[in-house]
Amino acid sequence: MEEDIEKIKFYTVDASDLEKAAKELEKNKMMRSKNFKDQNTKILNSRERSWLKKQGKNHLIDFDDSMRNELRKYFISMDGAGSRYIGVEELLDPLIALGLAENRTQVQALFDLVDTSKSGKIEFEDFLNILKIGEGNSPMVERFREMTRGRLVEDANVLPFNLVVSSYRRKMLMNAMMSDDPTVKGEGEKIYKAYSKLLESKQLGKKK
């Protein structure tokens, strides 16, 4: 009899352990569901782009599969923590350096358009939606297309994202100082001023 009681004690599971196990199972279930939805979305988007291509409607395609793969690498590069999310801070430098935004307010406004949950963080598809704002051949889409094709700066197709961004910024700063072309010089000056203001705001933030 005592032996049986000891066995029962041995196999008794603490209620808190059961609760933890249930939460872990629910978490894993949600992750599997999310991964399935993400994969399903990728397949549907890929099929849609393939159909548009066959119909001769390339102008309606934002980013083809190879470009999306490159953009995913850029996103992962910005997501230094490996959380699968990025915030406004991660977008500030790239968008300003590429001449796609002039200040934090503009970047925040773009971010807020896709951050529908108001969580302060966005996923890869949200990042793509930021790039597609304006639709069609928007400046953002075109700038990132050029980047994924390796045309933005020399060796862009082999450099990591952060180096492509900094190389392009240096190129624009040189244009601001040395270019004889008024349009090229003006674009360079615009990026130079925006980047200088960004650095100033970061320095002020550190002092507070």
- Distances from the Cα of 25 to the Cα of 22, 32, 139, 202, angstroms: 5, 11, 45, 43
| H helices, E strands: number in the chain | 9, 0
Whether pTM > 0.85 for this model: the answer is no
CA-CA distance, 64 to 45, in Å (whole number)? 9
Between 2.40.260.10, 1.10.238.10, 1.10.1070.20, 3.30.565.10, what CATH number should domain 63-203 receive? 1.10.238.10
Q: How high is the mean pLDDT of the chain?
A: 78
Other CB atoms within a 10 A radius of the CB of residue 46 amount to: 13
- The pLDDT of residue 48 is 45
- The pLDDT of residue 12 is 52
- The pLDDT of residue 129 is 87
Q: What is the mean pLDDT of each run of 10 residues along the chain (208 residues)?
A: 52 60 67 54 48 44 76 91 92 92 92 93 91 69 85 84 91 93 93 91 74
Tokens of 50: 């393939």
- The predicted-structure confidence for 143-167, as pLDDT tens digits, reads as follows 888 888 888 888 877 888 999 999 9
Nearest to 119, CA basis, from 89, 86, 94: 86
At 124, the amino acid letter reads F
Tokens of 123: 């996923």
CA-CA distance, 121 to 140, in Å (whole number)? 20
Nearest to 169, CA basis, from 198, 127, 135, 128: 198
Nearest to 137, CA basis, from 24, 51, 36, 61: 61
- The pLDDT of residue 50 is 52
- The predicted-structure confidence for 47-76, as pLDDT tens digits, reads as follows 544 544 454 444 434 677 888 888 899 999
CA-CA distance, 143 to 132, in Å (whole number)? 11
